[in-house]
Amino acid sequence: MKPPKILIQQSGMTLMEIIASLAIIGAVVVGALSLFGNAQSSNNATQLVRDIVSIRSATQTLSLGQNGYGPAGQSLNSTLISGGKVPTTLTVDRIANTINTPIGGRLTVEVDSPDTRRFKITLTAVPRDICTTLVTNMPTGWSSLKIGANTAVTTFPITPIAAAASTGCGAADTSDLIWITTN
């Protein structure tokens, strides 16, 4: 009679199983971070659209009954800041009269030149991933939009595949956007 064989049971995981598990976990984490980054950019862009529309309305309200906003080129930031018309999602430096955005840029409101019955809102250092969303989701009521050094766009709404959105926002890591109101 043969002696019985003793079966040895494996406990734990092999090195290959561990490596495969880590690779799968890594892929899931990278995908989740990518989705989170896209959601964050979309949220920032949506909030900036609301903030710009709010500032446009506040500026128009502050000048009701007047025939213009003041001398050409005059900053309206101090008027908006002192009037408490800056949305709380934007930070304000009361000493320098600047309005800062959560994406690292500045927002400036000033009287247009040469037409002092209009004003312009300039948003600086807009990242590429937020630029297209801002440009394409802004409601009507603007006479023009300038993206970076490109020629001003005067036809609205702007679609994501329009040359203004795709080349203007994709030209650099960050762009400056200038919206000019209608009269």
| 81 lies in some domain | yes
- On whether the CB atoms of residues 109 and 76 are closer than 8 A, the answer is yes
| 9 lies in some domain | no
Q: 158 forms bridges with which residues in the sheet? A: none
pLDDT digits (tens, 9 = 90+) for 100-148: 999 889 999 999 988 888 899 999 999 888 888 888 888 888 989 998 8
Given this model, what pLDDT does residue 81 score?
93
- On whether the CB atoms of residues 122 and 176 are closer than 8 A, the answer is yes
- Give the structural domain span for 149: 15-181
| 1 lies in some domain | no
What the block records as the tokens of 12 is 């734990």
| 120 lies in some domain | yes
| 158 lies in some domain | yes
| 7 lies in some domain | no
pLDDT digits (tens, 9 = 90+) for 15-70: 888 899 999 998 898 888 877 777 777 788 889 999 999 999 999 887 776 777 88
| 160 lies in some domain | yes
CATH number where 38 lies: 3.30.1690.10
Given this model, what pLDDT does residue 155 score?
84
Number of domains in the chain: 1
